[in-house]
Every structure is written in structure tokens, then in C-alpha cells.
Structure 1
Amino acid sequence: MINFKKIALNAYYLAASLIFLIESTTYIKRNGDQIWFAERAMHTHYNYFGFAIDRYMTWSSRLLIESATMYFSIHTILFQIVLFLGTFAFLKMAQQFFFKGKLCLEILLPILYLATFFPDTYTSAGLIATVTNYLFPTFTFMTAWYMTSKQNHKWFLASIPFWIFTCMQEQFAIITFVLFFMLLAKEVVQAKGFTKVSWNYFHLSAFGFGLLGILSALLSPGSDIRSKEEITSWYRHFADLTLVEKIYQGFVETNRVLFMNLTFSIVFLLLAALVWLAFLKKDWLSTAMSLAISALLVLTRLKSIDWLSGIIKSITVKDIYQGLVYNLAKQDWLTPTLFFLVILLALGIIIFRIFDSKSSYFVFAMVAAGYASRMLISFSPTIYVSEERTYTPLIFTLFFVLLIAVAEIYSELINLFKEPKESL
């Protein structure tokens, strides 16, 4: 029997994927790294694997991602096909993960996706290079995780190529490592000790891929060469920073973009979902906290409060060659630090209060993994010039949390409308 509902929903997802593709391809002819990659492809006689090895030794640990960037820089039509199919697959897997059988939410999903992921975020190094290095690993992470969640050996074997590609992107390697480390830690705590735990070997294997990705980045000779060249090109004082200064610089910059510049719509979407969910669960403390954070961020954006305006002014990067830490050394560094810590602490409290016990730890693990992936940029001299693309892994994890929140809102609303009928 023909399932017209399924056909219509798939057509809808294909249409959303096409919209995203069309939005993206308006930027495809902008100058970017794809020009250099295309020239190198011709120079190396299209030796994609050999190019990856050379890049590992002289520039980047990303191997297959570097090869794919070169390949797509030549085959732009195939790039567009992969982007289209990758978007569709991402939507379908998100549907299966969170919204399966809930038609209203299944319809809402592409709208949330298009409202979260903006193609112009992936143009700073040229569309092809940026999408291949950031958005495609997002798709492969989703695919690998979907297959791993099946808890089946055949599915997990099929996931291995996707895990490998994903974890060659060092930020996604951090996400994989941190997320599955926290899931494994939870297993140990629940079992009350290492000796009693019955390990989830699928989680353990995924954790191993994350660890290998991190080790590959650390051991790559090219990473050190690249860092030295980029210090000269982008951040002259970076080598003079202490470890604490680098971490602090990353902390302030990450939160500045998220909470003060309000660059990404996902922050507003997630806060709105948290307010709504807290209200439906009648958690008035979390409702008040969520509303307070939302109001504070809006007022920050409007620059309508003097002390907030002072914070914005003190942490605005005036000279990318000099760096944020040096600017803050002349200002009040304590005020922005406390401001961001209060917001992060409040969000952590809200997560554990309003999400149910099964999902609250997972939500926290996702946010922690995404935040750690952006903090990795603390150790890169391109921290101020890499722009929004380095936030992609964090945006992805926040999008996951948004979907979980929306699913819980839906459940709460269903229960709310059922109650009067049950009382009758």
C-alpha cells in the first residue's frame, strides 16, 4: 500500500534541502580557497591521496577532508549534489532521532534547520572549502552517530568511514571524545565502579575514534608548521601568550560572539524553547532565569544599559594582531568574566531542572562537547580571523539540544490537552 504521508514528507524534506542548496550556491562563485585547491589539483595531476599526505606533513591533519576539498574544487556539480543529499539525509536522521511519528514536529524540523544553519556562515574561506571542512563533517557525524545508535555490529561497521572522516576535523574529534567520554563516565557511575560496569562497546569505539582524531592532530608535523606561519600572518603576539591567557582569550571570544554579538539565531531559538518548556513544566525559577537571560541579551544587543555597553566596549577586538587579552589587560577583565560565568551557570542549572532525568545529562554532555570544540580555537592564532565557521560544531550541538527541547515541549502540550478529557 502506498504511504502518501511518507511520500509527501520526503518531498517536503527534499524541497527544504533544495532551498538550502539554492541559498548556498549563490555564494559558490565568490573568491575563496577553492581556487588555490583547483590549481593544486592540476599541479599534482589530480593525485588526491598524495596531496592529503603532503598536507598532513606540511599544513593540516585533516587528510581526507583536504582531499575532498581539492576534489570538490574541481567537481563543483558533485559538490552541490553532495550538499543537497547531505542536507536531506541530515533532516531524515534528525526526524528519526527526535520527531518520528509526530507529524507537527516533522513538518517543523526543516524550518528549524533553515533558521539555524545559514549558508553565508560558510563563505569566509570560500563556500566549497568551508562547507567541506565544517558542514560535511556535521553531516558525517550525524550519520555515524545514527548508525552507532542502532547498537548493531553491522551498522557500526558501516559507520566507521563516517567516524574517520568526522574525526579528521579536530573540532568534531573533540566533540566525539568529550561526548562519549561523558556517556562512558555515566555508565561507570551507574555501575558504581569500573569493575562492575558492563561497557557499551559501541560508545567505547566511538570514543576511540575521537581520541585518535585528537592524537592525529597533535602528531601532525603540518599542524606545527601551519601554526608558525599563521602567527606571522594573523596574530604576531600569539606565541607570547601563556596557556592561561590563551584559554581565557578563547573563553571571552566564544561568549562574546554567542551572548553579546548574538551572531547566531540558535541562541534565540534555544532560549525561547527553554522559556516555553520551563513554563509548561511549571518550574517558575527556571522560567524566570530563562526570561532574565533572554532580556539581558536583548538589552546587551540594544546597548541600552551603561554597564553592559561598557563590557561590549572593553572586549571588542580592536587589533587582531594584538589580541583580546592585551586589550582586556588595560580594562576591567573581571566584569566580563563574571558576566559570562553567571550566564553559563544559569543555563546549566536550567538544563538539569527542566529536562527529564533521562535527557538532562545527555543535553549537558552535548553542550559541554560543543563548547569544548569551540574552546579548541583558543590554541589557534586564527582565533579572530576564522570568523563564524569555527562555531559550526557548537551550533550543531545546540541544534541537537533545541530539537530535544522541542520534543519535550510537544509531549508537555499533548499531556496538557489530555488532562481535561481524563478528568471527565
Structure 2
Amino acid sequence: MKFLESKLLTIYKSSYFPFMILLIGMLLLHFMLNLDHPGDDKAFMKVLGKDHLIPLSYLTERYHTWSSRVLIEFILIFVVHFPAVWRLLDTVMMVLIAVSMSKLIPTAKNREKNWLITALLFMYPFVHMASAGWIATTLNYIWPLACGLFAMIPIKKYLCSEKVHWFEFLFYIPALIFAANQEQLCVILLSVYGVFTVYSALIKKVNWFMIVQTIISIFSFLFILTCPGNAARNVKEVNRWFPEFNTISLPRKIEMGFSSSLFEFVMKPNLIFTLFSFLLLLCVLLTHHKKILRFIAGIPFAASLVFGIFSNELGGTFYAITKAKNSMTKFGTGIRMNSVTSWVPDLLLVIISLAVLISLYFLFKNKKTSLIALFILLLGFGSRMIMSFSPTIWASGPRTFLFMYVAFIMLTFLLFQIILDSKSKIFKALSINTVVFLAILSFFNTFYTLR
């Protein structure tokens, strides 16, 4: 009995125990999902013939007429026939996302870090993954994300002079190839590996593996760009979802991408952004005494409350709040040069964005950390800005924000670390209790929503 108690206590004290809670929570959510959703799941159910062999002609046709995601769809064609297997594997992918994040962020307080990552992943609105059918959407977004984060781990190991065993390459390389088959993630991976390969060259710490991964990312990017199916699909999607898309000017498309990306986090109730901006303000209050910087750091948090969490209550009294929130149209915020009031929504978003960038840059004493934080933020934002050039910018729904959510999650951890390392017991208690409360509330909200 004592042996069993000792083992259970060891497991509980383990730094990976939080991920066991994540595993249990995700299993619970996945096994209660109703998979009878319309969408791509049903379409892929029809691909396999009676002999259960994938007709190569199908994948060839998809490449020439629809999509460059041949690797993702190759796996999807099989997995869609085994819902129970998908429930297990998708849960594993969520845990892999958590483990990879933990490996990518160095800190001595691993258990606290893993609890925070678990809490933040519970806050992600998982219902976004239902938009094109649960199985099809997660295989096109969650699985590439998990593999992409995993494929970035050697970068951190090399930069921190940690040993990378030869057999790890057998996992990192296939993970990168699979992840880079997803367009948004391919751009992220190419940017990450490209930047750190150049950085390694500058500090004379070049590694052949970094070069190989960068080359793979480049080839994946070129494969996507030259795929005839992507061009053919674009024409069909324009006709189906956005007939006016080709007549819209480039500045208008960029404005659409900019405003639609930030509306998701600022102009809607968004717990992850609210928590991020709240911790950003606390961190600046802890580390800086200049009133101007504290004021700037308070702008994103105030905006998340005014235009997000409490917008319905405040909008009844201040009509301008409601008007700004409702300014989003099929063509962006409808900004016009001859109407000053039409500039207001974008000006607000620009001010909030600059406040975040300035606060992050001046927050960290080590400017390398500041640059990494800004790089993470710009990667997440850039992954959504890519949708500016897609006629499915609206039709694709909220799933395209996934990588931007992950960027805010990783930044939130960096902020939380500052608070944990501080001497302020009040701020520590306030931050921890806020995170725990929001995580539990979010989990039960997701549980109830998905029933």
C-alpha cells in the first residue's frame, strides 16, 4: 500500500503531471463529440473503395484541381473511417502541442510552466475545429500545428547548446515535412528556420540539421506555390464565396486581413487575449515606473474589456463602441478616405497593436528576449494576414486563427514567468487565481457547448 502511495505521489509531483490532466480533459471532450457534422468528413468518407486502397488517381486529381495538401489528405482519407482512433490520436496531438511548447520555453520551474500551458490550452475555443467537420479540420490544423511545434524543438536545443541525438532526426524531419504541407504553417516554419539559420551563421554556430530543415521548408513552400490545384481552387472559391474578390485593390485586401485578424481578439470577448493583455499590464507595473509606459501597457487590456468582455453592457450607453464593433463588413471595416469616422476602427486597432509591440519591447531587460517575443507575435499575426490573399478569408471561419492563438499562448507564458520570478505575492496570487479560474470556466464552457 505504501509502495502504491509512493508511486502516486511521485506521479503527482512529476513536472509532467499537468499534461496527464490535459490528457484526461481532452479525452473527455473528444469522446463526447458528435461527429455527425456536415462538411469535409463525409466527402472523404467516400474516397476509399471496397478494397480499402486509395486510388492514386484521386490524390493526383486533388493535386491538379484542388489542393497541395496531399500528405495531410493521404492520412485523412484513412483516419476519417476510424472515429475512435481519431479521438485518441487527436487527444495525443493536443498533448504533443503542450509538451512541445514546454520544450521550446526554457525555465527552471517546469511544473509551474506545464500547469500554465495546460490551463491556456483549455482556454482555446476548441469548437473552432468543428467548422469543416471535426476530423478534417483537426487534421488540417491541429495535427500540423503539433508536428510543427515538435519540429522546432531542435532549434531551441542547438541555441541552448543541448545535445540532439541522431535518432531524434528520424522524428523531427518527418514532422516538419507533414507540418509544412499546411500553407499557413509552412510560412511560419520557413520563417523560423530561415531566421535562426541566418542567426546561427552570424554567431558562427551553423548546424547541418538546421540547413536541412530550412531547405525542406523552402521546397515545401515552392511545392505549395507551384501546385496547379491551388490556383484552380482559388478560381472556384472566388466564384463560390467571394465573386468580387479579384476586383478588390491590394490595399483593401491588406486592410481586410489586418482588421479581421485583430477583430477576433479585440472586438470580441476573447479570454486568451484578455489574459495576455492583463498579464502584460501587470508585468509592466512590476518592472517599470514610467507612467507613460504603464499607460501604454494598459491600452490593450482596457480595449479587451471595453470592446470585448463588457461591450454589450457598455454599448448600450456608448453607441460608438457598438458602432466600432459592427463596422466589419465583407470588404473589411469599410474605411473611406473622405470619411474620418470610417477610420476609427482601424485607428483603434493600430493604436492597440502599437501598444502591445512597445510594451513587449521595453518589458524585457534582455533585448534578445524582446525580439523573440515580437517575432512570435508577428509570426502569429502574419499567419492570419496570409488570408488577405484568399477568397475564403470569411468562409474558412475561425479555424484560421489557430496559429495566432498559439502565439498569444506562448507570449502569455513569457509574461507569467516574469510574475512568478517577482517578489510580489499579491501579483503572483492574482495571476495564478485568474488563470485557474479562467481555465476551469473555459473547460466547462467547452464541455457544455460540445454536448
TM-score, normalising length: structure 1: 0.85
1:232 paired residue number: 239
- How many angstroms apart in 1 are the aligned matches of 2:190 and 2:319? 41
Matched, 1:316 2:324: no
Unpaired segments ≥5 residues, structure 1: 192-196, 418-424
Partner amino acid, structure 1, of 2:370? S
Matched, 1:34 2:41: yes
Matched, 1:172 2:185: yes
Partner amino acid, structure 1, of 2:26? F
Shift of 1:56: 1.6
Partner amino acid, structure 2, of 1:387? G
1:241 paired residue number: 248
Query: Conserved in 2, the CA contact under 8 Å of 1:100 and 1:106?
Result: no
- How many angstroms apart in 2 are the aligned matches of 1:382 and 1:248? 15
Equivalent positions of 1:91-170 (< 5 A) are 91-98=98-105, 101-115=109-123, 117-151=124-158, 152=164, 154=166, 155-170=168-183
Partner amino acid, structure 2, of 1:350? S
Query: Residues 185, 309 of structure 1: CA spacing in aligned structure 2 closer, same or farther, 3 A cutoff?
Result: farther
Query: Conserved in 1, the CA contact under 8 Å of 2:140 and 2:182?
Result: yes
Equivalent positions of 1:288-327 (< 5 A) are 288-301=295-308, 302=311, 303=315, 304-313=317-326, 315-317=327-329, 320=330, 323-324=331-332, 327=334
2:354 paired residue number: 345
TM-score, normalising length: structure 2: 0.81
Shift of 1:416: 11
Of residues 399-408 and 158-167 in structure 1, the stretch that sits farther from structure 2 once superposed is 399-408
2:436 paired residue number: none
The Cα offsets for residues 146-181 of structure 1, whole Å up to 9 and x where unpaired, read as 244333362345311000111110100111122334
The Cα offsets for residues 290-340 of structure 1, whole Å up to 9 and x where unpaired, read as 222211232123135444433223x322xx4xx337x44496543222222
Partner amino acid, structure 2, of 1:22? L
Of residues 163-172 and 66-75 in structure 1, the stretch that sits farther from structure 2 once superposed is 66-75
Residue aligned with 1:42, SS = coil
- Alpha-carbon RMSD: 2.8
Partner amino acid, structure 2, of 1:361? L
2:222 paired residue number: 215
- How many angstroms apart in 1 are the aligned matches of 2:157 and 2:402? 26
Query: Conserved in 2, the CA contact under 8 Å of 1:278 and 1:287?
Result: yes
The Cα offsets for residues 81-114 of structure 1, whole Å up to 9 and x where unpaired, read as 2112222233233334435544334333312221
Query: Conserved in 1, the CA contact under 8 Å of 2:257 and 2:387?
Result: yes
The Cα offsets for residues 170-198 of structure 1, whole Å up to 9 and x where unpaired, read as 1001111223344345557x65xxxxx54
Query: Conserved in 2, the CA contact under 8 Å of 1:55 and 1:66?
Result: no
- How many angstroms apart in 2 are the aligned matches of 1:15 and 1:415? 26
Of 11, 16, 19, 1:7 maps to 11
Query: Residues 32, 101 of structure 1: CA spacing in aligned structure 2 closer, same or farther, 3 A cutoff?
Result: same
Shift of 1:218: 1.1
Query: Conserved in 1, the CA contact under 8 Å of 2:266 and 2:303?
Result: no
Of 93, 113, 116, 1:86 maps to 93
Equivalent positions of 1:194-209 (< 5 A) are 197-209=204-216
2:161 paired residue number: none
Partner amino acid, structure 1, of 2:186? A
Query: Residues 18, 52 of structure 1: CA spacing in aligned structure 2 closer, same or farther, 3 A cutoff?
Result: farther
Partner amino acid, structure 2, of 1:272? F
| Percent of pairs with identical residues | 21
Matched, 1:47 2:51: no
